[in-house]
Amino acid sequence: MSYEYIITSTDGRVGIVQFNRPKALNALNRELMAELMAALDVFDADDDIGCMVITGNEKAFAAGADIKEMANAAPVDMLDNPFIDYWDRLRRIGKPVVAAVSGFALGGGCELAMACDMIIASETARFGQPEINLGIIPGAGGTQRMTLAVGKALAMEMVLNGRFLTAAEALQHGLINRVVPTELYLAEAIKFAAEIAARAPVALRLGKEAVNAVYEMPLQAGLAHERRLFYMLFSTEDQKEGMDAFINKRKPEWQGK
């Protein structure tokens, strides 16, 4: 499939989507988001892909939703328009998704990174929800995900006063997984994703689902859900293979079933 606003590639079992709107600092317009989701759906359905990486360029992961596209929107346009739903659709991708972030991850760009499962950042990454400067608030999960990640005090500063987090601060507050030198950020994210992609595919999907259930369910329901997923994995060949490989001191060979 050919795309205008993204570039897709693969590296072993890792599917990579790179935003390609550098002049607009990868501002997320409707077409870009549609292409992103189409590409992720293709990778999600491909048995040869185990994990995905979403990235931008060194200067910007994405500087937010496209302000020029939104500027004259009426509420009913926003309601009728599935644009913001794309961020929710990212949650429904079954395989793990890693955001490789350098430079600006602002507004909808920060929300997109947070909707991924893990974030690898360059030293120059900056995370922020500056919507207050536009007279609005985050609309694609920023008030919720940021607060769950970094806590109320800092989230309030970010949402109400447009405070940015450096990569080091984002790491310290648990928003991201690791910070790496800028020139290596994409290679490190792909390496990280490749390690994950080599693991048992069904367990990866269910592990992701179980962790994400924390955001959707009270503890008792989440624990019950985890237990059911745990039991379900005992119906897979990979569970038999993984335990047999451990007992016989050999490397497991995953079948993804």
Question: Of 141, 42, 121, 197, which Cα lies nearest the Cα of 17?
Answer: 42
Instruction: Select from 15, 50, 96, 130 the one that contacts ligand CAA (CB under 6 A).
Output: 130
CB 143 within 8 A of CB 111: no
One character per residue 59-98, x = contact with ligand CAA (rule: CB under 6 A): ----xxxxxx------------------------------
- For residues 149 and 243, what is the distance between their CA atoms, to the nearest angstrom? 34
How would you list the strands of the sheet with 60-62, edge to edge? 60-62, 104-106, 126-128, 164-166
Instruction: Select from 104, 127, 185, 192 the one that contacts ligand CAA (CB under 6 A).
Output: 104
Q: How many residues bind ligand CAA (CB under 6 A)?
A: 22
User: Looking up tokens 């892909």, which residue turns up?
Assistant: 49
> Catalytic pick from 35, 131, 188, 226?
131
CB closer to ligand CAA, 137 vs 168: 137
Strands 118-122 and 97-101: parallel
Q: Cβ 240 to ligand CAA, closest distance in Å?
A: 45
Question: Of 101, 115, 114, 33, which Cα lies nearest the Cα of 66?
Answer: 33
User: Looking up tokens 């350098």, which residue turns up?
Assistant: 102
- For residues 164 and 155, what is the distance between their CA atoms, to the nearest angstrom? 10
49 sits near ligand CAA (criterion: CB under 6 A):
no
134 sits near ligand CAA (criterion: CB under 6 A):
yes
> Catalytic pick from 35, 111, 188, 226?
111
106 sits near ligand CAA (criterion: CB under 6 A):
yes
Active-site annotation, residues: 65, 108, 111, 131
**Interface residues with ligand CAA (CB under 6 A)?**
24-25, 27, 63-68, 104, 106-108, 111, 130-131, 133-134, 138-140, 142
